[in-house]
């Protein structure tokens, strides 16, 4: 792959669900879920980057139960994922559900193309159907299942977000057993937009976004609220991410077009607030290794790579450094935009860093365009030198 060049992979259907294959640390792989209006046509794509040849290899799995709204891979098993999807009932009404799936082995792929067999070009294979290991029974708690997220290190624990509830399931015995539940009780019963495990504090906290606020729940204390950022954004909070290397810091993005960075010990005001997008911010992601690098994606069809070095875990950050000052200090990035990516023509709903390569990331727009990109070499070398 040439420096700063991106690889584009087009899907046949619209899509908004994207996730890295967490259990694969050697190859750059991402899961993509489609949103075809014909529910039976939906698919899971497992996309692998071949960096030497500058193309992607893909395996495609039918997901005939409905359109996919989110995908969550197991942290320990490369062939296990959850999906949240919209499906049709017998009464022909739409219903949100969530299930745990096992991918078929690669040996079952249909390799009908001779060019694929010789390995001389990109490999696109149709695979057998996903095996439904179990379904999460969330129906009595609400209709809108937003995500079913694996515990960061334990493949037997899954947390589902349903309306104003978060439900912990044990899937260790190939069934989904409800073991804990929590509820946001507030005026008007606001619904959760998303939820994520906090990787710190021994993974004993779960964080949620609802309306304009972000809350953390202590799973050791009967799911009581641990902290709250009230009014984090002036409009709906779409997404947030937790700094993987600095336990009290999180980033949030919302419909006000802003990305804000918070120290949850002092939630009254953000540490940094940025307005790099002209429309809703759909996704915000810290780099897993170099947390001064943050990606944001938006309905303005743009992807922005930002530096927040002044509040990162790496010691080279310098609060208030200008671009000129940072150039004179080896290894120090100034806070601000590092790169803007405009290969998309539709709302960019998802962006994710690779687990295998800290300099590679993928973004997905609603028109089914997946773009795999690199951190610019100049930024990479400034961090490494």
Q: What is the pLDDT of residues 36-68, one digit of tens each?
A: 989 889 999 999 999 888 889 999 999 999 999
143-178 pLDDT tens trace: 999 999 999 999 999 999 999 999 999 999 989 999
Q: Is residue 112 part of a domain?
A: no
Confidence of residue 107 (pLDDT cuts 50, 70, 90): low
Residue 356 pLDDT > 50, yes or no? yes
Full 3-state SS string of the chain: CCCCCCEEEECCCCEEEEEECCCCCCCCEEEEEECCCCHHHCEEEEEEEECCCCEEEEEEEECCCCEEEEEEECCCCCCEEEEEEEEECCCCCEEEEEEEEECCCHHHCECCCHHHHHCCCCCEEECCCCEEEEECCCHHHCCCEEEEEECCCCCCEEEEEECCEEEEEECCCCCCEEEEEEECCCCCCCCEEEEEECCCHHHCEEEEEECCEEEEEECCCCCEEEEEECCCCCCCEEEEEECCCCCCEEEEEECCCCEEEEECCCCCCCCEEECCCCCCEEEEEECCCCCCEEEEEECCCCEEEEECHHHCCCCCCCCCCCHHHHHCCCCCCCCEEEEEECCCCCCEEEEEECCCCCCEEEEEECCCEEEEEECCHHHHHHHHC
Residue 106 pLDDT > 90, yes or no? no
Confidence of residue 323 (pLDDT cuts 50, 70, 90): very low
* CA terminus-to-terminus distance, the chain: 22
| Average pLDDT estimate for 299-307 | 96
Question: Residue 321: what pLDDT?
Answer: 44
Q: Is residue 2 part of a domain?
A: no
185 or 317: which carries more pLDDT confidence? 185
Do residues 263 and 251 make contact, with C-beta atoms less than 8 angstroms apart?
Answer: no
| Average pLDDT estimate for 328-338 | 75
Q: Is residue 298 part of a domain?
A: yes
Residue 324 pLDDT > 70, yes or no? no
Residue 102 pLDDT > 50, yes or no? yes
The candidate with the shortest Cα–Cα distance to 102, out of 126, 66, 74, is 74
Question: Residue 48: what pLDDT?
Answer: 96
Do residues 218 and 208 make contact, with C-beta atoms less than 8 angstroms apart?
Answer: no
Q: Is residue 115 part of a domain?
A: no
Domain count of the fold of the chain: 1
Q: Is residue 220 part of a domain?
A: yes
> pTM for this structure?
0.91
Structure tokens at 169: 């399931």
Residue 319 pLDDT > 50, yes or no? no
Q: Which residues of 307-338 are buried (b: 16+ CB within 10 A; e: fewer)?
A: bbbbbbebebbbeebeeeebeeeeebbbbeeb
Q: Is residue 143 part of a domain?
A: yes
Question: Residue 317: what pLDDT?
Answer: 47
Residue 41's CATH number: 2.130.10.10
Q: Is residue 221 part of a domain?
A: yes
Of 92-106, 145-159, 179-193, highest mean pLDDT: 145-159
| Average pLDDT estimate for 330-355 | 91
120 or 218: which carries more pLDDT confidence? 218
Q: Is residue 363 part of a domain?
A: yes
Question: Residue 331: what pLDDT?
Answer: 56
Structure tokens at 25: 């640390």
Q: Report percent pLDDT > 70 for the chain.
A: 91
Do residues 25 and 360 make contact, with C-beta atoms less than 8 angstroms apart?
Answer: no
Residue 84 pLDDT > 60, yes or no? yes
Q: How far is residue 182's CA from residue 225's CA, in Å, rounded to a whole number? A: 10
Structural domain boundaries, residue 249: 7-106+122-315+328-384
pLDDT mean across residues, the chain: 90
235-280 pLDDT tens trace: 999 999 999 999 999 999 999 999 999 999 999 999 999 999 999 9
374 forms bridges with which residues in the sheet? 360
């Amino acid at each position: 792959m040439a420096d700063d060049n991106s690889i584009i992979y087009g899907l046949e259907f619209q899509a908004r669900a994207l996730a890295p294959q967490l259990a694969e640390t050697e190859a750059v792989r991402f899961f993509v879920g489609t949103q075809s209006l014909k529910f039976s046509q939906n698919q899971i794509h497992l996309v692998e980057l071949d960096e030497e040849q500058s193309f992607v290899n893909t395996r495609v799995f039918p997901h005939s139960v409905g359109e996919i709204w989110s995908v969550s891979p197991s942290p320990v098993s490369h062939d296990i994922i959850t999906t949240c999807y919209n499906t049709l009932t017998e009464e022909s009404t739409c219903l949100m559900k969530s299930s745990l799936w096992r991918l078929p082995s690669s040996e079952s792929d249909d390799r009908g193309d001779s060019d694929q067999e010789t390995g001389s070009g990109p490999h696109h294979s149709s695979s057998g159907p996903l095996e439904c290991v179990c379904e999460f029974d969330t129906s009595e708690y609400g209709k809108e299942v937003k995500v079913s997220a694996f515990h960061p290190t334990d493949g037997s624990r899954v947390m589902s977000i349903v309306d104003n509830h978060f439900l912990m399931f044990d899937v260790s015995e190939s069934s989904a057993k409800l073991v804990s539940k929590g509820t946001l009780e507030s005026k008007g019963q606001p619904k959760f937009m998303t939820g994520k495990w906090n990787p710190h504090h021994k993974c004993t906290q779960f964080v949620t976004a609802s309306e304009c606020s972000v809350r953390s729940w202590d799973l050791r204390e009967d799911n009581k609220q641990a902290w709250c950022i009230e009014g984090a954004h002036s409009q709906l909070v779409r997404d947030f991410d937790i700094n993987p290397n600095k336990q009290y810091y999180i980033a949030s993005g919302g419909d006000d077009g802003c990305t804000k960075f918070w120290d949850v010990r002092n939630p009254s005001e953000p540490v940094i607030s940025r307005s790099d997008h002209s429309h809703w911010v759909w996704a915000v992601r810290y780099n897993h290794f170099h947390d001064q690098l943050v990606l944001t994606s938006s309905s303005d069809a743009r992807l922005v790579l930002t530096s927040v070095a002044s509040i990162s875990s790496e010691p080279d950050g310098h609060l208030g450094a200008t671009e000129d000052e940072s150039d004179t200090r080896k290894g120090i990035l100034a806070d601000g935009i590092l790169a803007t990516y405009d290969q998309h023509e539709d709302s960019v709903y998802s962006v994710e860093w690779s687990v295998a390569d800290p300099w590679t990331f993928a973004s997905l727009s609603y028109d089914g365009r997946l773009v795999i990109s690199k951190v610019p070499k100049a930024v990479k070398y400034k961090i490494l030198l």
